[in-house]
Structure 1
Amino acid sequence: MAEEAEKEISTFEDFKLNKQLLNAIAEAGYQKPTPIQQQAIPLIMAGHDILGIAQTGTGKTAAYLLPLLLKVKYAQGQHPRAIILAPTRELVMQITENIALLGKYTDLRFTGIYGGLGPKTQIETISKGIDIIVATPKRLMELYLKGELVLKELKTLILDEADKMMDMGFMPQIRQILEVIPRKRQNLLFSATMPEKVVQLSEEFLEFPMRVEVTPQATPVETVSQVLYQVPNLRTKIAMLEYLLQDAEEFNRVIIFTRSKRNAESVAKFLERQELGEVRAIHGNKGQNTRINAMEAFKGGEVRFLVATDVAARGIDVSMVSHVINFDVPFVYEDYVHRIGRTGRAENEGASITFANEAEMYHIRKIEKLIRMQLPEQPLPPAVEVFKTPFEEQQEIAMEIDRQKRRENPDFKGAFHEKKAIPKAKPTKTRRDPKASFWQKTKKKGSGKR
């Protein structure tokens, strides 16, 4: 059925949307429906529950918003008739912006609710009457338990980026929500990947769902070129980053992903010192307004570099990102797909560049298995200075490699395996362990029969 829909539909008019939506689509500059839209929209409009597997940047937000806006149609009543759940405040804000864009010629009332700021304004907005709520699961349950939210009129529930919600531990809140909303409703679940937790959720959440999968599971967006560099240490990663970003014409709008808040701050400060262009950092320790302002400045082209952790990655929706640079390799392998999905959006071309040290290559092989392709590898350019790895960093890398080998083989004993407690015995002259020798000497000096 989905394949037939894709063959028949070539324009947004083919969906039989109303004039308000078609005008908004034209003004937004959407040329033609994407594959996920071609397949999902007719099925959603027919009332089916949907299990949608699609990467970010494939048009999935409009794939569920257009039929939803057509269904809800106009402002009515006091309580929400549709709820869209998303894992992060950034994604809530992005979806809300899309509703404003596509629903601009309707009188629908909608709002985004999320943590990080007081609920007073959100409660006031809801109390005036609301049709659609976009929310993080935790804040939605908070307002419901306070008695500020009535969910008895709910007709549609949408879960976006379900895999990330599972990674962030939202399953308990989602189960609570499912217990308090009406049983008779339409359910839509969208995810970039289908790990076991999402499969379990879909079985609990969806009734006889139609599966829509526009690309094989966890396949990166086709318009994104990918390249891998083996970079031995942090200092060389910095040198490689500086080398690449000298080309302002090619690297004109860049997102740099780090695994930690500390690295995000360090990279951002380095770029500021180099004066290569405006830079902002967004991560969990940044205040809500700071993150919003950074994102808006990046979208508006005022900022050339955005340094981000994976927590902040899901809400970035900018169509003309030239490059994504993975300064650190993510340990949650699905995050690689989401990271590179920040470029090559809306069928534009994009590029992804990944730096990996010896320990991170273990995770690269796991990512390659997930995305079912080998990342093209290139040698470091001759102009990039390769620095000697400091002793402490070398130790950390060696210990991480040991941990990886133990993970693959529990019987593996590496250079850094934990030493078992040695039973008490007579003092020995061995000096292999300096600390042991020191305590043996001390014991000998102070020993005596009591």
Structure 2
Amino acid sequence: MALPLALSGQDLIGQARTGTGKTYAFGIAMLQSIGKPRKNRKKPRGLVVVPTRELAVQVSEDLVTAAGKLGSRVLTVYGGRAYEPQIEALKAGVDVIVGTPGRLLDLVKQKHLDLSQVTSLVLDEADRMMDLGFLPDIERIFKLIPAERQTMLFSATMPGEIVTLSRKYLNRPTHVRAEMESGEGEATPQVRQIVWRAHRMDKIEIVARLLQAEGRGLTMVFCETKRACDMVAEQLDTRGFAVAAVHGDLGQGQREQALRAFRNGKIDVLVATDVAARGIDIDDVTHVVNYDCPTDDKTYVHRIGRTGRAGRTGIAVTFVEWEELTRWKMINQMLGLDFAEPEETYSTSPHVFTELNIPEGTKGVLPHASRSRAGLSAERIEDLGETGRARNRGGNRRREEREERPARAPRQRRRTRGGRELAETAPAETPEVELVAAKTEETPAIFTPDEIQPVAAEPKRTRVRGRGAASSAIEQALAETPEAPVKRTRTRKADQSQAPETRSREEAAEAPARSRATEAPPAEPVSTRVAEAAPVEPVVERVPEPSFLATPPPPVHREPERIIPPSPFAVIFQSPDLASDDDDIAPSAATERKQQRRQARGGGGGNRRRAG
């Protein structure tokens, strides 16, 4: 119905159910009006504006297929890709541009895209494009296009307010509705709709059993938020299903990888937000699950429209929580459905198995024998030169990347000294230490003959570093020094006061001498006899000089003197007293006035007496 009007060059508002071929309705008319490409024509003549990147790729592929005989040059322009390939294609020349509003305006601002020769403009999913979110960008695009043009709007849902707003930009448009009794969108009749009232904690279990139904093909699960998408995809992945997520926080390469894997059958479950609910055409989608209740009737129509396309049949299951009942009743009333009171359902309810054709005894985990899909990792990620920050797929994806990360190479340590490397084959360096000639008649007080013998028996060290250099040199010097007799200058009382360990060492050293003395007792020395006869004189013990090997005494900690601040009330300066004992006390003012009065009275009375 819309094709003859579009070929005639009239402005058009097209409305039809999802999957009825709206893309070819405006695509064929646009390509026919543009004609065959010319070498001297580089500026685009046709422009198609779409709301999502995935829809831009799909519309571009359909237009390339339709322009197979004409050879029209079609360019896809959207965000998330590098600018350079798109700029080079624009310089080479294009006939039709399919893109999103943001990237189109960026290229116009950079003066790489010129829309002054566009003769045909199409807004796909017009109700979304004319929404308040896209309306400012759409108005700017309308100003960049010539006034004499053909404008066509197509969508499955076209509310009355959107039609009224679109008339501002169209010239006497014709509103064409295919198989529609009312201006509002309605669901595809080939889709069997099921609405259940489920609990939030039990929905994932119902989905896991639904995915094991007999005859199930590809399945799309729609969530309201990006975080919910990641959560559902991760839980289904742990249960053994080949699943991928598509939402706005993923990079464009990851989003296209997931859609390619879904189309190629490497995964059979796609968890997405409403990004994938508009215009995505994928064959063999048998089930659509509304994990979260849609926000309005338009969203519901577009979600369940992903199945039952081109005359096929499908099943749409919607979960409604207790707090979402009011919202669902509004959707049910707007679309005229018969699910005003959804049935309360749990994963163990018998009607779940009967209505969805699920084998009895099915659990929420996919058996290992049924895990035949290659998975998302089998699909290669294209390097699109993505712009913006790097994005992650979710916790499960990050865990897989950590597992696939190669192990670190063993760290090679280099031995350096003073910033220079040491050769492994270089001979060991010995510190140059001057050996001090020790005196034979004196021995440090901290060493005994018994302690010097084991030191002499130790092997000599050839390489010493750090603080051990000086001590090793002293040990070598002591080892080469012959044993000298130790002079005993202490009295008997001092010997008795020695530590038991010291006395035991001396007794062990004198044991051989005692044994020889018992065999042949020599004459008693004179010095000993004189000492016994003469009175014992106190011998002052000589304090040995401090040795550098001795342990220094611990430092004495003295408390600092307490500084007592002066009292703030103390007298700092006192003026000297210049008065003496002979000085009279100065009279007060009252005393002086009394004296003056007395003098005045006394003087007047005396004069009177003299006069009388």
Q: Give the superposition deviation at 1:88.
A: 0.7
Instruction: Tell me the equivalent position of 2:460.
Output: none
Q: Give the superposition deviation at 1:203.
A: 1.3
Larger RCO: Structure 1 or Structure 2 (Cα < 8 Å, ≥ 6 residues apart)?
1
Q: Give the superposition deviation at 1:379.
A: 5.0
Secondary structure, in 3 states, of the residue corresponding to 1:100? helix
Does 1:170 pair with 2:139? no
Instruction: Tell me the equivalent position of 2:50.
Output: 86
Structure 2 unaligned regions, length at least 5: 351-612
Instruction: Tell me the equivalent position of 1:251.
Output: 216
CA distance in 2, matches of 1:197, 1:139: 27
Q: Is the 8 A contact 1:295 1:316 kept in 2?
A: no
Q: Give the superposition deviation at 1:304.
A: 0.6
Which residue identity is paired with 2:189? E
Instruction: Tell me the equivalent position of 2:235.
Output: 270
Which residue identity is paired with 2:275? V
Secondary structure, in 3 states, of the residue corresponding to 1:51? strand
Secondary structure, in 3 states, of the residue corresponding to 2:75? strand
Does 1:58 pair with 2:20? yes
1:163-204 Cα offsets, whole Å, 9 max, x none, are: 222447110111111112111111101122233552243111
Instruction: Tell me the equivalent position of 2:8.
Output: 46
Instruction: Tell me the equivalent position of 2:225.
Output: 260
Does 1:345 pair with 2:345? no
Instruction: Tell me the equivalent position of 1:424.
Output: none
Instruction: Tell me the equivalent position of 1:395.
Output: none
Secondary structure, in 3 states, of the residue corresponding to 2:196? strand
Instruction: Tell me the equivalent position of 2:320.
Output: 356
| Equivalent residue runs for 1:308-323 within 5 Å | 308-323=272-287
Which residue identity is paired with 2:205? A
Which residue identity is paired with 1:250? G
CA distance in 2, matches of 1:330, 1:168: 19
Instruction: Tell me the equivalent position of 2:357.
Output: none
1:253-279 Cα offsets, whole Å, 9 max, x none, are: 10000001111111111111111x311
Which residue identity is paired with 1:74? K
Instruction: Tell me the equivalent position of 1:218.
Output: 185
Q: Is the 8 A contact 2:202 2:347 kept in 1?
A: no
Structure 1 unaligned regions, length at least 5: 1-38, 386-450
Instruction: Tell me the equivalent position of 2:294.
Output: 330
1:403-438 Cα offsets, whole Å, 9 max, x none, are: xxxxxxxxxxxxxxxxxxxxxxxxxxxxxxxxxxxx
Q: Give TM-score, length-normalised by structure 2.
A: 0.54
Q: Give the superposition deviation at 1:312.
A: 3.1
Q: Is the 8 A contact 2:48 2:99 kept in 1?
A: yes
Q: Is the 8 A contact 1:319 1:348 kept in 2?
A: no
Instruction: Tell me the equivalent position of 1:68.
Output: 30
CA distance in 1, matches of 2:88, 2:161: 35
Instruction: Tell me the equivalent position of 1:239.
Output: 205
Q: Is the 8 A contact 1:320 1:345 kept in 2?
A: no
Q: Give the superposition deviation at 1:352.
A: 0.7
Q: Is the 8 A contact 1:55 1:337 kept in 2?
A: no
Which residue identity is paired with 2:45? R
Distance 1:89 1:168, change over 3 A: farther
- The more displaced of 162-171 and 210-219 is 162-171
Q: Is the 8 A contact 2:130 2:138 kept in 1?
A: no
CA distance in 1, matches of 2:296, 2:78: 24
* Residue 197 of structure 2, aligned match among 230, 235, 238: 230
Q: Is the 8 A contact 1:239 1:384 kept in 2?
A: no
Q: Is the 8 A contact 2:217 2:284 kept in 1?
A: no
Secondary structure, in 3 states, of the residue corresponding to 2:153? strand
Does 1:206 pair with 2:170? yes
Q: Is the 8 A contact 2:167 2:173 kept in 1?
A: no
Q: Give the superposition deviation at 1:366.
A: 1.5
Secondary structure, in 3 states, of the residue corresponding to 1:66? helix
Q: Is the 8 A contact 1:83 1:157 kept in 2?
A: yes
* Residue 142 of structure 1, aligned match among 92, 106, 111: 106
CA distance in 2, matches of 1:382, 1:177: 50
CA distance in 2, matches of 1:201, 1:321: 35
Instruction: Tell me the equivalent position of 2:581.
Output: none
Q: Give aligned pairs, total.
A: 345
Q: Give TM-score, length-normalised by structure 1.
A: 0.73
Does 1:180 pair with 2:147? no
Which residue identity is paired with 2:252? Q
CA distance in 1, matches of 2:130, 2:339: 27
Distance 1:168 1:101, change over 3 A: farther
Q: CA RMSD in A?
A: 1.9
Distance 1:176 1:287, change over 3 A: same
| Equivalent residue runs for 1:325-404 within 5 Å | 325-375=289-339, 377-380=342-345, 383-384=348-349
Secondary structure, in 3 states, of the residue corresponding to 1:343? coil
Distance 1:315 1:118, change over 3 A: farther
Instruction: Tell me the equivalent position of 2:92.
Output: 128
Q: Give the superposition deviation at 1:107.
A: 1.3
Q: Which structure shows the higher helix fraction? A: 1
Larger Cα Rg: Structure 1 or Structure 2? Answer: 2
CA distance in 1, matches of 2:328, 2:14: 26
CA distance in 1, matches of 2:55, 2:336: 27
Q: Is the 8 A contact 1:90 1:316 kept in 2?
A: yes
1:272-315 Cα offsets, whole Å, 9 max, x none, are: 1111x311100011110111011011111221100000123225
